[in-house]
Structure 1
Amino acid sequence: MTTYSVVIPVYKSANCLPELANQLKKVFEELKNDYEIIMVDDCSPDESWSVITEIARTHPHFKGVQLLKNSGQTRATMTGIRIAKGDVVITMDDDLQHDPQLIPHLLEEMEKDGGYDGVFAYFPKKKHATYRNVGSKLIRWINAHAFGVKELKISSFRLMRRYLADIVRQNHSASATVGGLMLANASKIKYVPIQHNKRFSGKSNYTLGKQIKMAFDNICSVSMLPLRMISATGLIAATLSGFLICFFLFEYFTGGITLPGWTSQMILTAFFSGLILLSLGVIGEYLVRVLRELQSTSVTAIRKTVGFPENESMISISNADLSDNKNNIPQRD
């Protein structure tokens, strides 16, 4: 029988979690397959961890992980994926904007046409502010060009098979996103339109600025698009410089320039100074990311867990522990 793992990063969603747990329990009981629900508390300042603890103690298939510090949605999700044991790994948000009742539909879509490596749910109409929807469209366009696809329709509501989840979890990058890694490592991906619900409670913590940062992380972490853009810009600049040289030579020999050299020097200096600064900016961004990778630890620090066998008060999950495909929680010394 296929087993399922659902990974949910949690931040400021204490009021949403009981209803989310009830809906997930109902969905998977109807599927009649083994499952686990992993809620990863990203060091939320509200009562999220207390709620997760209570849910895990009263529901046998629910597990909780509390990170030692706030690490962001992507790292919290990666932590859950590294723990997940299911044949199919599902990631979703904690605010019920991703409808749990649509999981069976997404599972059916994954099996069509001979089966897909992964499935992204996307929302034709989002229950967000106008500025966020406009920003999302722009970011999707940028990401589509970065990954070389005609149209990119992705969200954090996604499904992946075990072998793709294993590839994603082996990535040690400090900034790569789950969606970007899926797209970079699998070609048979399906995009399924679904309804986007209103947030069950509270306000979204995912701002337009965070969306832009994630888009930039997608591009720079798993795509060479910025470097290729610089190369193309350099080629265009060299071509334009050739035309400028020919033009100024023509003007010089025909007497059209009264101060020989001044105009061409100013234009060329400004043009190439801007180009050099732009190039240094992009190269500098890559160097920052290299330094971040060198300085980052390979350990995801966890403060507490609940719902796992032989639960520990504090554990760490390292990349070394995962390299040999160990899926269980490491035991305390």
Structure 2
Amino acid sequence: MDISVVVPLFNEEESLPELTSWIKKVMQENNFSYEVILVDDGSNDDSWKVIESLKLGHPEIKGIKFRRNYGKSAALNVGFTVAQGDVVITMDADLQDSPDEIPVLYKRIKEEKLDLISGWKKKRYDPISKTIPTKLFNSATRSMSGIHNLHDFNCGLKAYRKTVVKNIEVYGEMHRYIPVIAKWAGFSKIEEQVVEHRARKYGTTKFGLNRFINGFLDLLSIFFVGKFGKRPMHFFGSLGVLSFFFGTIMAIWIIGEKLYHIAHGTSYRDVTDQPMFYIALVAVIVGTQLFLTGFVAELVSRSSSNRNNYQIEKEI
């Protein structure tokens, strides 16, 4: 199979018939063998009924329905698990992503042997309350990830080699940073493609300001896990050793100062009367705790088996 199109959706009953029809037209014009995986992320409208009706006349459509709303990352992760195409395309269900971009994305993945292509909506139709924070996040992500050739990490329209989606894990709100996750997994051939951004035709945006907070926290998580996920002792242990060393040096200084005064018969303050003693004590305790945290983290690192355990209600 040439292409798998993974479409996460939430309350998009009006756009689905037009979207799937558009995808089919593009695929037939280019003689692609394909499948469309529609992942209903717990919609409370008639999105699933629409998917069921579309499935009846279109065998290339697959539908997955969550019992409740888990989020876009969960929908993408499950879609990636099911996808069978050599190239996997992701796009939003709101018709703001154009299926006409699919042939170019497919061709570039194949001919340039790329791992991932991220869309860049150079001209956007979003309100300024969304575009300005997005630019700030993209700038921060470029700086922290080292992927300097991408302008829009959060664009829903992306193309992947099949190997990439089978070897990455997407959870939380980390769909925003899939290029970063792919890079940390060893897939470094990441490029950008300018794509069309269309004005929303149906429904309302699911965007909320709280996503920026979650997105920032997930960026920190990705940075930490990507850099220290397999070696947490290097992070916690280093901090612990520094803190322990700092506290020990201060303690030695205090004791040495007392011994000096005793040897010369001069007056001195008791060790426990000096603020530096308590600073040294706290530094030693914190250093020990950080070291032990790193040791425990080393034992349990990346061992969770339930991170992507989602309850799927129906599958067709």
Q: How does 1:60-75 map to 2 (within 5 A)?
A: 60-75=59-74
- TM-score by length of structure 1 reads 0.68
- Verify: 1:209 aligned to 2:221, yes or no: no
1:40, distance to aligned residue in structure 2 (A): 0.7
How many residues of Structure 1 are paired with residues of Structure 2 in the alignment?
294
Indicate the residue corresponding to 2:42 in structure 1. Answer: 43
- TM-score by length of structure 2 reads 0.72
1:97, distance to aligned residue in structure 2 (A): 3.9
Structure 1 residue corresponding to 2:277, chosen from 265, 275, 283: 265
AA of the residue aligned to 2:275: T
- d(CA) in 1 for partners of 2:239 and 2:97? 41
- d(CA) in 2 for partners of 1:26 and 1:249? 82
Query: What's the CA shift string for 1:269-290, capped at 9, x where partnerless?
Result: 3444555666778888899987
1:267, distance to aligned residue in structure 2 (A): 1.4
AA of the residue aligned to 1:268: A
Indicate the residue corresponding to 2:315 in structure 1. Answer: 305
- d(CA) in 2 for partners of 1:45 and 1:94? 15
What is the aligned-residue RMSD (CA, Å)?
A: 4.1
- d(CA) in 2 for partners of 1:26 and 1:136? 33
- d(CA) in 1 for partners of 2:237 and 2:99? 45
- d(CA) in 1 for partners of 2:236 and 2:91? 36
Checking the alignment, whether the CA contact within 8 Å between 1:98 and 1:157 is kept in structure 2 is yes
AA of the residue aligned to 2:102: I
- d(CA) in 1 for partners of 2:193 and 2:40? 28
Checking the alignment, whether the CA contact within 8 Å between 1:120 and 1:189 is kept in structure 2 is no
1:184, distance to aligned residue in structure 2 (A): 3.7
Query: What's the CA shift string for 1:229-273, capped at 9, x where partnerless?
Result: 323323432453455356546765478974544222221234445
AA of the residue aligned to 1:183: K
Q: How does 1:261-300 map to 2 (within 5 A)?
A: 261=272, 262-273=274-285, 293-294=304-305, 296=306
Classify the secondary structure of the residue corresponding to 1:167: coil
Query: What's the CA shift string for 1:6-42, capped at 9, x where partnerless?
Result: 1111113333333433432333233221111110101
1:48, distance to aligned residue in structure 2 (A): 1.8
- Verify: 1:244 aligned to 2:242, yes or no: no
Q: Which runs of 5 or more structure 1 residues have no equivalent in the other structure?
A: 307-333
- d(CA) in 2 for partners of 1:298 and 1:237? 36
Mark the CA change 1:303 to 1:32 in structure 2 (over 3 Å): closer, same or farther.
Answer: same
Instruction: Flag the structure with larger Rg.
Output: 2
Classify the secondary structure of the residue corresponding to 1:39: strand
AA of the residue aligned to 1:303: E
